[in-house]
Structures are given as C-alpha cells and as structure tokens.
C-alpha cells in the first residue's frame, strides 16, 4: 500500500459515516443516503468523492448553509418532465425521490428529464448514470458547480468544474459509464493535492497572474482550466445553460456568489435525462441494437484500450471481496478525529 493510503473496513466506514453525519445534525434519511454514496465511491476508489466528502457535508452544517433535515418535494411538471425541489438539502435524497418517476416517464414517453433544483451537490455523477442504466435506460447527468474554471482564451473563473456522465445498459454486464469534470482536473482532486502539498498535473491551472501553475494554493487563487481547450470550454458553457437557466437554477457564478466565501460545496440544480431503447426501436429490436453496442465495446477493448469505469468495477470487485478499501491517510485521520469529538 502506498505511503499516504490507509485501509478501512467497509463496515467501519459505514458506521463512521452515519455517526459523523447524525452527530452533525443530518436527518436519518440524509445520513443514510450520504453514507451510502460516499462509501460506494470509496469502494470504487474514487478518492475525490468518497469518504473525504463526509468532511464537506459536516462543513455545510458548521457554516450554516444546508438544511440537514430537508424533505425533497417531487413535482410532476409534464408527461416527460419531473422536477424535484431539494429545498436546500443535499442532492441525493432528491435524486432518489425523482428516479422512479423519471424511469416511468422515460418508458412512457421514450425520453424524460429530471430537474433537481435547490440542492447542495458534492457527489460524483456515475452512481446516478449507473442506477439509470441498471434499469435498462440510457442516462445523461450533468450539473454546474462553483465558478472556479476559466474559459479557453481567458483567465478569470466563469465555469464550474461541470461534470458530465453517461450510462448505457449492457445486459448481463456492468453498464458502460463515463463520468468526468469538464475542467482538466476535478476541484476535489485540487483539494486533495492542497492537503498534502503535492504538485498538480501540468496544464490544469493558472495562477492569479494567468501563468501556468502546478501549485494547488496558487490554482485556488487563480483559475482552473477546461479539458481539451476550446472544446471543454464549449461543453462547459452548454452545461451552465442546460443545468442552470434551462431548469431555472443557478449558474456556477451565481452559486459561488451565494456561497459568500463560506467555502462549502455549491448550491444549484442538476439535469438528468433518461432514454428508453425499447421506445426508439420496439422491445425486440432494442435488444438487437444493444448487442450492436457490444461490437463497439469489443473493438475498443480488442485493441488493448480500456473502457471508462473498468478501473472502478475492478476496484469494486477487489474491495467487496476483501471487505476493506484504501482511503487517504490524512482523510481517515481527520474523520476519526471528528468522530472522537
């Protein structure tokens, strides 16, 4: 095990998460969902959105931002649109409340959208894409965050790290899922580098004078960069529009203004779209069409390339078998210190 990684049992992580969140003031349903999601992410060895995020969730209460007992409100807006108001709670309860309605609408209409509004959002998006794909539906999920990222050709933060996730069902196999920030690096990774004082990868950030930097502190004072230059910049703009104004929620610039230097995770909306293969092609054809997707995956893997999520699925298998998982040493120390208070 590398120097900065410790091991924790999955059971201990679950009970640590529940204890911390209940003691912080979250309701039982929020404590359960948040714990489930961060433990899932840690099992898949997604360090930036795993157990580390328990600290972010506690800070949200300590800095007076989140409603820790909010009950999401589901609103049937149109045959293919469901809206869930998270009422300034964490997004996850809202997603779980909206998911069955989204799936039913997608089956009825062929395509449906779930708009989550008014949610504090700290999590990775792949669990959502995976849960939708596990229902036999194609998934797209996207959200803004805080304005930390400069547009290509500029030097001042405008965009959030704006993640985009896609899920495709694969009968008998884990779904094909990808999930990434449209910034060159996720903010969570910058924070993890900042905690340990380790350099950022080249090409991910600029300092306050607009000069390239690998120093995480300087990046926080300056700006993060989009991935893929102008292409990531355009994608990030699209996400600002469809997960912001389209659904009547904040842009990343508005979210960071609302934050008012509290330095907590963002408050905004999320757009989730589900598509039903059977509605496009009929039940029998849909099965054939999904098999044609398999040929594509074979062509990718057949030449030694890997599919997105393959690393996660391998980590999941390994860690579920052992009942333990790796976690950053400094994160575990902080969680145990908080739990002992």
Calpha distance 125→12 (Å, rounded): 24
What is the greatest pairwise CA distance in the chain?
59
CB under 5 to 8 A by kind: which of ligand NDP, ligand PYC, none does 169 bind?
none
Calpha distance 36→221 (Å, rounded): 33
Calpha distance 336→331 (Å, rounded): 9
Residue 178 in the binding site for ligand NDP (CB under 6 A) = yes
- Residue from 42, 91, 93, 161 touching ligand PYC (CB under 6 A): that is 161
In angstroms and rounded to an integer, the radius of gyration of the C-alpha atoms of the chain is 20
Residue 42 in the binding site for ligand NDP (CB under 6 A) = no
Residue 188 in the binding site for ligand PYC (CB under 6 A) = yes
Residue 34 in the binding site for ligand PYC (CB under 6 A) = no
- What count of residues does the chain have? 341
Query: Which H helix or E strand runs over 167?
Result: strand 164-168
Residue 143 in the binding site for ligand NDP (CB under 6 A) = yes
Query: Which H helix or E strand runs over 288?
Result: helix 283-301
Cβ-proximal residue to ligand NDP, closest one: 124
Please report the DSSP string for 69-124 in residue order.
T---EEEEEETTEEEEE-TTSBHHHHHHHHHHHHHHHHHHHSEEEEEEEEEE--S-
Considering only residues 257 to 316 of the shown chain, the ones binding ligand NDP according to CB under 6 A are 306, 308-312
Residue 265 in the binding site for ligand PYC (CB under 6 A) = yes
Considering only residues 101 to 160 of the shown chain, the ones binding ligand PYC according to CB under 6 A are 122, 145
Q: Which lies closer to ligand PYC via its Cβ, residue 137 or residue 219?
A: 219
Which range touches ligand PYC (CB under 6 A), out of 4-12, 30-38, 184-192, 230-238?
A: 184-192
Q: Write out the residues near ligand NDP by the rule CB under 6 A.
A: 46, 48-49, 121, 123-126, 143, 145, 161, 163, 178-181, 186, 188-189, 306, 308-312
Active site positions, annotated:
48-49, 189
């Amino acid at each position: 095990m590398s120097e900065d990684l410790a091991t924790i049992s999955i059971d201990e992580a679950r009970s640590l998460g529940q204890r911390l969140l209940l003691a912080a003031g979250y309701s039982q349903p929020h404590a359960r969902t948040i714990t489930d999601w961060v433990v899932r992410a840690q099992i898949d060895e997604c360090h930036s959105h795993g157990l580390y995020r328990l600290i972010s969730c506690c800070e949200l209460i300590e800095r007076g931002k989140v409603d820790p007992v909010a009950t999401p409100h589901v609103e049937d807006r149109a045959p293919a649109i469901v809206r869930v108001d998270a009422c300034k709670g964490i997004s996850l309860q809202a997603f779980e409340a909206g998911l069955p309605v989204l799936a039913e609408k997608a089956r009825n209409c062929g395509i449906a959208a779930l708009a989550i509004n008014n949610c504090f959002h700290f999590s990775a998006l792949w669990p959502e894409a995976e849960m939708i794909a596990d229902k036999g539906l194609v998934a797209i999920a996207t959200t803004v965050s805080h304005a930390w990222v400069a547009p290509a050709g500029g030097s001042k933060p405008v965009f959030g790290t704006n993640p985009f996730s896609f899920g495709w069902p694969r009968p008998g196999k884990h779904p094909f899922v990808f999930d990434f920030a449209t910034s060159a690096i996720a903010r969570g990774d910058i924070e993890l580098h900042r905690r340990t004082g380790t350099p950022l990868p080249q090409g991910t950030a600029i300092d306050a004078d607009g000069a390239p930097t690998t120093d995480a502190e300087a990046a926080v004072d300056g700006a993060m960069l989009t991935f893929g230059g102008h292409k990531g910049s355009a994608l990030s703009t699209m996400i600002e529009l469809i997960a912001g104004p389209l659904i009547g929620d904040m842009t990343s610039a508005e979210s960071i203004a609302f934050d008012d230097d509290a330095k907590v995770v963002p408050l905004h909306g999320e757009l989730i779209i589900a598509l039903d293969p059977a509605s496009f092609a009929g039940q029998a054809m849909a099965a054939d069409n999904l098999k044609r997707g398999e040929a594509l995956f074979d062509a990718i893997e057949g030449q030694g390339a890997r599919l997105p999520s393959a690393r996660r699925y391998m980590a999941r298998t390994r860690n579920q078998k052992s009942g333990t998982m790796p976690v950053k040493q400094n994160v575990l120390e902080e969680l145990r210190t908080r739990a002992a208070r």
